[in-house]
Structure formats: structure tokens, C-alpha cells
Amino acid sequence: MDLTDDAALAEATSSLDRLDVLVHSAGVAGLGSVAESPAAVWRHNFEVNTVAVVELTRLLLPALRAARGHVVFLNSGQGLSARAGWGPYAASKFALRACADVLRAEEESRGVRVTTVYPGRTDTEMQEAVIAHEGGSYTPEDYLRPESVAAAVHAAVTAGPDAHLTELTLRPRPR
């Protein structure tokens, strides 16, 4: 579904009364420098990577609260340290980091856990496009496997009831 379609999100979530885990893993990577990136690129990054995530979370908060659930934000290393040429994407990921921190502060007392996972470069189609944008050659073995990122999410979600993994950072191991 189109995550930027507020009405569709509301309709898709309206029947959920309990939700144990919500993993935000959709995203776009509109790259470019500040000088070369028009407002439309910035808006699209923020709409998909930040605003849609917050709206979906807002709609599902009652169900998450009922289950004392867990929200996982798959962010990016660019949400921790921005690089030249990554302006729109990095800014949206820094904003996502702030949203997760705010949600954690607001909902922890209600039993909702919030984890942000910051994976480094991961072997995905999005990464292939990023490498092409950068003019590099793509070698899948140089990147995290999606299964490794999924294992980190699983570890956060299945941590004991006394544990709250708030942030996890993953990087590819050097070959």
C-alpha cells in the first residue's frame, strides 16, 4: 500500500485492537547535495521515511498499548552521521531518530517498548541503486545481509521483559 495515503492507512489499521510488534522497514533513499536537491526530493524522503512512519505509529498506538507492544524503527547509519551528497535522506533519518526518541519517552511508562536499529549498508536493491548513484561497483559480499538485520530486530523484540534494547547499530564486518 502507499504509506503516504493517510486514508488508506487509517482504513488498513482500523480493525486492529491489539498489536504485539510494529516494524517500520519501508523507506526511500533520495540522495543529493543541498545545492542540487529540489524541495520535491526532500519532501518525498520526509513523507515516506518520517511522516508516514509517525502516522502509522499514531494510528496503531491504541493496539500497541493494549498489548504492551514493541515498535522497531529500521533507521540507517545516516540517521547517526550524515555525509555529503546524502542530504534529503540523512535529514529524514535524523528526523526519524528524533521521532523514535520522543515516542520512547512518551510511551515507555505505558509499557510500549521502542527500538531503533541503525544498519549499515545492507545488500538490497536500494543499496544497489545507491552504489550506482555513487559511481561504484556493487559487490553483495561487502554488505550486511538482510537476514543479519532481521536477527537484530528479533533480538530486540525477544529480549526478556526486564530488558529494553533501545538502540542497535550494525555494520558490515570487513572482509
As a whole number of angstroms, the distance between CA 22 and CA 13 comes to 12
pTM above 0.85, yes or no: yes
Q: Which residues, in sequence order, are bridge partners of residue 86?
A: 32
Q: Which residues, in sequence order, are bridge partners of residue 123?
A: none
Q: Which three cell numbers stand for residue 90?
A: 540523512
Q: What is the pLDDT of residue 137?
A: 87
3-state secondary structure of 95: helix
Say how many C-beta atoms besides its own lie within 10 A of residue 159's C-beta: 14
The residue extents of the domains of the chain are 16-170
Helices (H) and strands (E) in the chain, counts: 6, 4
> Which of the residues are catalytic?
89
Tell me which CATH code domain 16-170 carries.
3.40.50.720
The segments of the chain whose pLDDT lies below 50 read none
